[in-house]
Amino acid sequence: MSLLSYAWLLPVIPLVVFAIVLATGRKLPEKVVYSLGIGAMAVVFAGSLVALWQTSHGLELNTSFKWLSFGANTFNFGMLVDPLTATMLIVVSFVSLLVQLYSIGYMHGDERIRWFYGAINLFSAAMLGVVLANNWLLMYMCWEVMGLASYLLIGFWYQNADAPPAAMKAFLVTRFGDVGFGLALALMYFNFHTFNFTSVFLMTEMGAVNPTVIAAIALLFFAGAMGKSAQFPLHVWLPDAMAGPTPGSALIHAATMVAAGVYLVARSFPLYEAVPWTLLVVGTIGTITAVMGALIALAQHDIKKVLAYSTISQLGYMFLALGTGSWVAAIFHLMTHAFFKALLFMAAGSVIHGSGTQDLHEMGGLAKKMPWTTATWVLGALSLAGIPPLAGFWSKDEILLSALHSGNYWFLGFGLFTALLTAFYMGRATFLAFFVKPGPDSKASHAHESPWVMTAPLATLAVLAVTAGLIGSPLAGYAFGNFMGEHEAAEPSYLLMAIAIGVAVAGISLAWGSYIKRFFEPDGYFKSWFVTGPLSHKFWIDEVYHHGVVRPVNAIAEGARTADSAVIDAIVRAFGWVGLKISALLAVFDRKGVDGAFDAFGDGVSETGNTVRKIQNGNVQTYLLFMVAAIVVLVAVFAR
């Protein structure tokens, strides 16, 4: 029996940790709680390595068991472990492990650190469930639990004014996309009568189902993915989600959960391939998101917001890759992005931890105070910017190559443009935070390096941010693509590589010229764009939602409330009034009629008694008189 059949343990282990945390509350010492979490995740990581090793030897697992049945309908649960799942398992468990290690330092002294670990473990369990599921139903259930964990972690510091609304926004916006996911499931069950990946793909391939239906299902899945993966126009929750603790952001809102949408589309890819124009929709949305996110990131001065918009942009990049038809490139970028973006988030957390500020303008010169953080951040930033031979370069190159080969030159052009913007904003953030001379309101003077529990995960991730890309590079013979089952590797284009490198270098140089040498100042030249214009206002999308969705909904709710109190309440009150009046009448009848009759009867008896008792005056002669009178009467009557 294959070791893979124990794969169900992977999500169960962190779930058990969550249950323990939930059950014990504050009873367990903090050390026990985080040791449990880290130990559990280490076991899961080891298990994921086993899964990877097994799948790389061609073993796969695809089992189902009956979950419930009613009538003729049966719903199965089950697990699928294939190279894609194994890769996702590694990414999730590894980042979760490092985040939990890092949180020992970052969350040190927080009153609710146990709950933090509980929520992280709940999230990990759900995400592992998502990637292990062999059917969309189980995936959807875990998907929703993941949303719940995200909500819990965004609202973790509920004392802060911005956290609860951010948590609610994230939940509602992602739910909006998930409605699409749910509808897709309904549509799928009516047309395929199963949720199982393999069966559905088989039926799709045989053409057993109308392509229009498949397209609808694919696009509705994509709606769910858009919500979870923060794609335009459902991206608005992700920047706000930065109100949560930074390690949580690193795990959920950078590395794993937001990538679940990409995973969903990649996993459902045969559906999209069956109706190719759906891929164009996916790619277009991805491209819009990639460019928009990168543009907004240019003007953010909160270090976490820069990373948040960068994440949105990079997720858009992955959807762009899916749109070009290469889900392998998307997953490859997902993996490298998970490593370097988790690294960047955790380095940003270290910066926030050490300097006490999130504002880039209040930093500056941190390089001297925080050497480890700086070194790891720079590696992550270079990787994201796409400098070879770091991981981001290879995965981005795969995507651009796929765009080139698919002939979608719009995607290619915007992809390169995004790469330029990415290099620029990462350069900007790097220079402003670490290398410029500290400004007057800088808080760098009392900054300090973070403890080793924080820097060690950074260093580990930095190694991966540098090397993880190599496995998918031509240097390693496209090992990643082969592992995923893509046997004919695309012809590498060295010209494209050169252009990509040139773009990345240009972006960084531009940032260097702007913020270190100050040859030109974007904030000055492009003030109408950067400071007061569309970039700093995030293209007014939040405002559009506020006026287009939130206010109308509130107005409708207000109207409904008014109608409720004016009409429904009035009717209820009228009923009450009529009831009161009727009962008042009944009361009168009761008192005057029924009570009166009884009273009259009683009074009558009493009166009669009073009258009659006067005869009994105690005088024997009177009695005798009556007796005689009675005899006389009787005689008079009967003696005739």
Partner 1 sequence: MTLGLNHFLILAAALFCIGIFGVLTSKSALRVVICVELILNAVNLNLAAFSAYVAPKEAVGASFVIFLMVVAAAEVGLALALIITLNRTSDISAIDSMSRMKG
Binding residues for partner 1, per CB under 8 A? Answer: 613, 616-621, 624-625, 628
Between 46 and 605, name the residue whose CB sits nearer to partner 1: 605
Q: How far apart are CA 624 and CA 630, in angstroms?
A: 10
The CB-of-620 to partner 1 minimum distance in angstroms stands at 7
The CB-of-628 to partner 1 minimum distance in angstroms stands at 6
Looking only at Cα atoms, what is the longest distance across the chain? Answer: 153
CB 400 within 8 A of CB 479: no
Between 186 and 635, name the residue whose CB sits nearer to partner 1: 635
The CB-of-625 to partner 1 minimum distance in angstroms stands at 5
Closest by Cα among 156, 307, 247 to 457 = 247
Between 582 and 624, name the residue whose CB sits nearer to partner 1: 624
Q: Where are the alpha helices (DSSP H) in 234-302?
A: 237-240, 246-250, 260-267, 269-274, 277-298
The CB-of-576 to partner 1 minimum distance in angstroms stands at 56
The CB-of-636 to partner 1 minimum distance in angstroms stands at 15
The CB-of-605 to partner 1 minimum distance in angstroms stands at 16
Between 159 and 619, name the residue whose CB sits nearer to partner 1: 619
The CB-of-621 to partner 1 minimum distance in angstroms stands at 6
Main-chain dihedrals φ then ψ at residue 78, nearest 5 degrees? 180, 175
Q: How far apart are CA 571 and CA 565, in angstroms?
A: 9
Query: Which residues lie closer than 8 Å to 531 by C-beta, 6 or more apart?
Result: 299, 523
Closest by Cα among 144, 422, 456, 454 to 298 = 422
Q: How far apart are CA 82 and CA 327, in angstroms?
A: 15
* Residues in a beta bridge with 65: 77
Closest by Cα among 55, 44, 52, 45 to 13 = 44
Between 212 and 616, name the residue whose CB sits nearer to partner 1: 616
Between 46 and 631, name the residue whose CB sits nearer to partner 1: 631
Between 553 and 624, name the residue whose CB sits nearer to partner 1: 624
The CB-of-634 to partner 1 minimum distance in angstroms stands at 15
Between 73 and 610, name the residue whose CB sits nearer to partner 1: 610
Cα angle 381-383-387, degrees, rounded to a multiple of 5: 110
The CB-of-606 to partner 1 minimum distance in angstroms stands at 15
CB 3 within 8 A of CB 57: no
The CB-of-622 to partner 1 minimum distance in angstroms stands at 9
CB 274 within 8 A of CB 211: yes
The CB-of-608 to partner 1 minimum distance in angstroms stands at 14
Name the packing angle between helices 83-106 and 327-355 (round to 10°): 0
CB 253 within 8 A of CB 378: no
- Six token digits for residue 213: 């239906």
Between 1 and 612, name the residue whose CB sits nearer to partner 1: 612
Main-chain dihedrals φ then ψ at residue 98, nearest 5 degrees? -65, -40
Query: Which residues lie closer than 8 Å to 320 by C-beta, 6 or more apart?
Result: 283, 286, 287, 290, 399, 403, 411, 414, 415
DSSP secondary structure of 523-582: HHHTHHHHTSSTTTTGGGHHHHHIIIIIHHHHHHHHHHHHHIIIIIHHHHHHHHHHHHHH
Closest by Cα among 332, 414, 348 to 381 = 348
The CB-of-614 to partner 1 minimum distance in angstroms stands at 9
* Residues in a beta bridge with 77: 65
Between 440 and 618, name the residue whose CB sits nearer to partner 1: 618
Between 597 and 629, name the residue whose CB sits nearer to partner 1: 629
Token pair 């008189």 is found at 625
The CB-of-592 to partner 1 minimum distance in angstroms stands at 35
- Cα 383 to Cα 37, 250, 388, 454, 502: the distances in Å are 29, 16, 8, 20, 14
Between 612 and 637, name the residue whose CB sits nearer to partner 1: 612
The CB-of-637 to partner 1 minimum distance in angstroms stands at 19
**Beta strand 73-81 pairing with 61-70:** antiparallel
Between 578 and 624, name the residue whose CB sits nearer to partner 1: 624
Q: How far apart are CA 604 and CA 207, in angstroms?
A: 97
Between 562 and 608, name the residue whose CB sits nearer to partner 1: 608
Between 614 and 640, name the residue whose CB sits nearer to partner 1: 614
- Cα 291 to Cα 230, 298, 299, 300, 315: the distances in Å are 14, 11, 14, 15, 11
Cis peptide before 389 (omega within 30 of 0): yes
The CB-of-623 to partner 1 minimum distance in angstroms stands at 9
Closest by Cα among 257, 270, 269 to 227 = 257
